[in-house]
Amino acid sequence: MQKNLVIVESPAKAKTIEKFLGKDYRVMSSYGHIRDLSTKELGIDVAHDFKPQYVVPEEKKKLVAELKKASQDAREVLLASDEDREGEAIAWHLSEALELSPDRTQRIVFHEITKPAILHALDTPRGIDINLVNAQQARRVLDRIVGFELSPVLWRKVKPALSAGRVQSVAVRLIVEREREIARFVSEASFRVVASFLLPDGKTLLKAELNRRLKDRDEAEAFLRACQRPEAAFTIEDTTKRPVKKTPAPPFTTSTLQQEAARKLGFSVAQTMMVAQRLYESGFITYMRTDSFNLSDMALTASRQAITEEYGERYHRLRHYHTKSKGAQEAHEAIRPTNMQAPTISAGAQEMKLYDLIYKRTLACQMADAELERTTVSIGIGGLTDKFVAVGEVIKFDGFLRVYRESTDDEPDTPEQETKLLPTVNVGDRLTAREIIATERFTQRPPRYTEAGLVHRMEELGIGRPSTYAPTIQTIQNREYVVRGDKPGEERKFCVLTLADGQIAEEVKRETVGADRNKLLPTDVGTVVNDFLTESFPEVIDYHFTANVEKEFDAIAEGTMEWTEAMDRFYKFFHPIVEKTLAMRTDHRAGERQLGTDPKSGQPVSVKIGRYGPVAQIGQPDPDNKSAAKPRFASLMKTQSIETITLEEALELFKLPRVIGEYEGKEMVAATGRFGPFVRFDGLFVSIPKPLEPTSITPDEAIALIEEKRTKESQRHIKTFAEEPGLEILNGRYGAYIAFEGSNYRLPKDVVPADLTLEDCRRIIAEAADKPKRRVPRRRSNG
């Protein structure tokens, strides 16, 4: 009997749906898009209404053939891709590529993978919405034009193999501009005053903070002196109690899951997605690439049941969350456990941790508000209008806090945020000040972005999609526009004035501030590319460019705008700027900076992005005089930047390679290579370790390094065989191994390397060769 064929996007989804549908249906997966613009060229016929040239990629050909065969065998084909722009386009591409006949093809959509939702979808089929498809084509074509016209401009003006695009270039811009804000930032000092009071009972302490900051040291001292006066009595003037409510965070979307997993579990964005993918494939959670807050009725009911069973009815509160945008295209649910009766699962360690986070967040979002009581105590100072204020908070009913509390990015810096129960006090109580401390505090610079923080900001700007956040972050790092790294903090002095026992003492303390770990930092290349793009293409690199074009895509989807006309308008605006930029003088590279003149040669010194990265240059090539001296080059060190390097620092670079001295009648030379500074001696390379510098290393230091390396080298060779000179047993970083004909072979765990015979070695090599040949997959950055 002929079955109906249902095509969805994801194989895991296909498996689930097949169970709901029974034997009359066969469910297959398209694994996302099945066709795309040809990658060899622009792939768009600009002159003929931007006609896209779609091709089935090589790796998808087999799948498309299978789908086609299955569709021809089927009674009816039901295209069940997601109900959004991309999903509609997938359905359309399927109908085109599989040559489906319209009378045997239907389009169905569901927003959650539950049996009622799927059965309802089968009852309400529709045709393909060509307006929505056209909106996707517009999006696709625009992204291709932007990416494939901007990138070659960068190859010409900055460096080969760079890339630019609607999404990645704005992501880089966010990081470059944040770094500039940080560089410009000037912190402002003020004094924060905290007092420790003794209550009338003579033993209970109450800590309170002055209700304003004092502007400098003199004002702080004057205030403490005023507190010192006998008439400066401290009296409880007022106490108020106020109920406060806390509401749980909404359920997880891709971006909030990435942020919380980074804060609570220390996961990178890519790691979170990988672990979530495994949870999804094992059936533990719903789809992990979503921007919807929606929860299915089934999930709401199950949450209610789980909460009332575990904590009681009082802890439950039904909440519906709505996605902020127009909401019409809720292709998925929020990320939630598929089974709310399973608080824990058994899986890998990371999977269990992430699941726990998802479970608790989902449960909490269906729980009652937490009820707190905030007590504010205000303490008057005799003769002054200033007051000390103590704030305490008590949880009256924990509600959702019982299971989950959202983290924030702000590091807990000031203890004022810590809230607690205050002792009971009465208005009119006289207090004794044990000590009053005025501490100098500084305003904080803007924070550097973490990966997840960047995703958060991109989502706010509407740039990128749940499926692209992680790959985009990978791309801007692969292009070396941005690196994840650490920045040492700076030591800062601050002043502390303490009034205790009638004395004012002053102390200067030191603290380290602004240290950063694992943050996104712009590189020179990223900075130069960004400055070049913002200068030449300000509209495209604008933070609101995506939001603006999205409005047009919406109009196309609603049928009020022709997609080809939208493209025509954009292209007529954009392409001339590309042409103009390419035609501009080519002798000056973007980001090039003149530093001054080399005192020795009188030649100009400049820095720029060279073919292999940031480089300093003395002299200019002279096209009219081939015999003239060629320019000299020297790569910048990792710690230097073309934006900040000085003439002196640049000239310093040309001192390398440098002859350190002689040893055993041969020259020792210091230089910096791809892997950092090194000493070269008699064909041997020795890295120069940290505190030593290639510009200043002494002959004795270099000899010590060479001897150390020689000792290690002698320990490296464990055994050689006269019959087979190309085969050696060596000692490596991961233990002993066999080196033979350019390949390395691991040794079995239980052997003693020095005891191996040549036969043993040959056997190990032969066994390794039996295994499937190892391919070296050249991992491409993105897509």
Q: How far is the CB of 67 from DNA (least distance, A)?
A: 14
Q: How far is the CB of 4 from DNA (least distance, A)?
A: 22
CA distances 375 to 105, 202, 393, Å, are 66, 22, 6
* Options 151-159, 299-307, 345-353, 501-509: segment touching DNA (CB under 7 A): 151-159
CA distances 12 to 18, 258, 362, 558, Å, are 10, 22, 22, 32
Cα–Cα distance between 747 and 728 in angstroms, integer? Answer: 12
Beta carbon nearer to DNA, 185 or 685 = 685
392 binds DNA (CB under 7 A): no
Q: Which two tokens stand for residue 475?
A: 């791309």
573 binds DNA (CB under 7 A): no
Window 713-752: residues binding DNA (CB under 7 A): 746
List 383, 676, 689, 735, residue binding DNA (CB under 7 A) = 676
- Beta-bridged to residue 235, according to DSSP, are 380, 430
Cα–Cα distance between 474 and 272 in angstroms, integer? Answer: 13
Per the omega criterion (within 30 degrees of 0), is the bond before 657 cis?
yes
275 binds DNA (CB under 7 A): no
Beta carbon nearer to DNA, 439 or 536 = 536
Window 581-600: residues binding DNA (CB under 7 A): 587, 589
Beta carbon nearer to DNA, 331 or 401 = 331
604 binds DNA (CB under 7 A): no
Beta carbon nearer to DNA, 387 or 680 = 680
659 binds DNA (CB under 7 A): no
List 65, 96, 101, 155, residue binding DNA (CB under 7 A) = 155
- Residue 395: Cβ-neighbour burial (10 angstroms; 0-12, 13-18, 19+): middle
- Using alpha carbons, select from 289, 290, 256 the residue that is nearest to residue 452: 256
84 binds DNA (CB under 7 A): yes
Catalytic residue, chosen from 25, 54, 280, 287, is 287
88 binds DNA (CB under 7 A): no
Cα–Cα distance between 255 and 675 in angstroms, integer? Answer: 36
List 94, 109, 135, 167, residue binding DNA (CB under 7 A) = 167
List 18, 49, 76, 143, residue binding DNA (CB under 7 A) = 143
Non-local (6+) Cβ contacts of 177 within 8 A are: none
Beta carbon nearer to DNA, 509 or 544 = 544
* Options 109-117, 120-128, 562-570, 606-614: segment touching DNA (CB under 7 A): 606-614
- Residue 560: Cβ-neighbour burial (10 angstroms; 0-12, 13-18, 19+): exposed
- Beta-bridged to residue 506, according to DSSP, are 497
Q: Which positions from 421 to 450 touch DNA by CB under 7 A, shown as an x/- string?
A: ------------------------------
Non-local (6+) Cβ contacts of 565 within 8 A are: none
Positive/negative CA dihedral, 620, 621, 626, 627: positive
Cite the beta strand spans of 316-425 per DSSP E: 370-381, 387-397
137 binds DNA (CB under 7 A): no
230 binds DNA (CB under 7 A): no
- Side chain identity at residue 510, one-letter code: R
Beta carbon nearer to DNA, 716 or 746 = 746
Neighbours of 262 (CB within 10 A): 23
Residue 441 near residue 354, CB atoms below 8 Å: no
List 200, 343, 610, 661, residue binding DNA (CB under 7 A) = 610
Q: How far is the CB of 496 from DNA (least distance, A)?
A: 48
DSSP string over 517-575: EEEEEE-HHHHHHHHHHHHH-TTTTSTTHHHHHHHHHHHHHTTSS-HHHHHHHHHHHHH
List 5, 6, 7, 9, residue binding DNA (CB under 7 A) = 9
List 107, 144, 173, 361, residue binding DNA (CB under 7 A) = 144
- Beta-bridged to residue 508, according to DSSP, are 495
Three-state SS annotation for 270-322: HHHHHHHHHHHHCCCECCCCCCCCCCCHHHHHHHHHHHHHHHCHHHECCCCCC
Beta carbon nearer to DNA, 93 or 448 = 93
612 binds DNA (CB under 7 A): yes
Beta carbon nearer to DNA, 23 or 771 = 771
782 binds DNA (CB under 7 A): yes
* Options 65-73, 335-343, 358-366, 674-682: segment touching DNA (CB under 7 A): 674-682
Beta carbon nearer to DNA, 392 or 673 = 673
Q: How far is the CB of 673 from DNA (least distance, A)?
A: 3
Window 618-637: residues binding DNA (CB under 7 A): 620-621, 623, 626, 630-631, 633-635
- Our answer to whether residue 31 is catalytic in this structure is no
- Beta-bridged to residue 52, according to DSSP, are 44
Q: How far is the CB of 126 from DNA (least distance, A)?
A: 20
164 binds DNA (CB under 7 A): yes
List 7, 27, 67, 86, residue binding DNA (CB under 7 A) = 86
Cα–Cα distance between 314 and 368 in angstroms, integer? Answer: 7
Window 17-46: residues binding DNA (CB under 7 A): 31-33, 36-37, 39, 41
Beta carbon nearer to DNA, 144 or 448 = 144
Non-local (6+) Cβ contacts of 292 within 8 A are: 253, 323, 330, 331, 332, 333, 334
Q: Binders of DNA: how many residues, by CB under 7 A?
A: 89
Q: How far is the CB of 190 from DNA (least distance, A)?
A: 43
Residue 524 near residue 157, CB atoms below 8 Å: no
* Options 205-213, 262-270, 564-572, 675-683: segment touching DNA (CB under 7 A): 675-683
Instruction: Please provide the distance, in angstroms rounded to a whole number, between the alpha carbons at the two ends of the chain.
Output: 40
250 binds DNA (CB under 7 A): no
Instruction: Find the helix packing angle between 130-157 and 85-97, rounded to 10°.
Output: 100
Q: How far is the CB of 163 from DNA (least distance, A)?
A: 3
List 95, 105, 106, 169, residue binding DNA (CB under 7 A) = 169
- Beta-bridged to residue 107, according to DSSP, are 79, 126
148 binds DNA (CB under 7 A): yes
How are beta strands 666-673 and 658-663 bridged, if at all? antiparallel
List 258, 268, 362, 468, residue binding DNA (CB under 7 A) = 468
Window 352-391: residues binding DNA (CB under 7 A): none
- Side chain identity at residue 148, one-letter code: F
* Residue carrying structure tokens 């993978």: 113
Q: How far is the CB of 772 from DNA (least distance, A)?
A: 4
Beta carbon nearer to DNA, 580 or 712 = 712
Beta carbon nearer to DNA, 330 or 440 = 330
Beta carbon nearer to DNA, 172 or 206 = 172
255 binds DNA (CB under 7 A): no
Three-state SS annotation for 467-517: CCHHHHHHHHHHCCCEEEEEECCEEEEEEEEEEECCEEEEEEEEEEECCEE
List 137, 475, 523, 581, residue binding DNA (CB under 7 A) = 475
- Side chain identity at residue 165, one-letter code: G
Phi-psi label, residue 550: left if phi above 0, alpha if psi -120 to 50, beta otherwise: alpha
Q: How far is the CB of 479 from DNA (least distance, A)?
A: 7
Q: How far is the CB of 686 from DNA (least distance, A)?
A: 7
611 binds DNA (CB under 7 A): yes
List 46, 56, 504, 671, residue binding DNA (CB under 7 A) = 671
Q: Annotated active-site positions, please?
A: 287
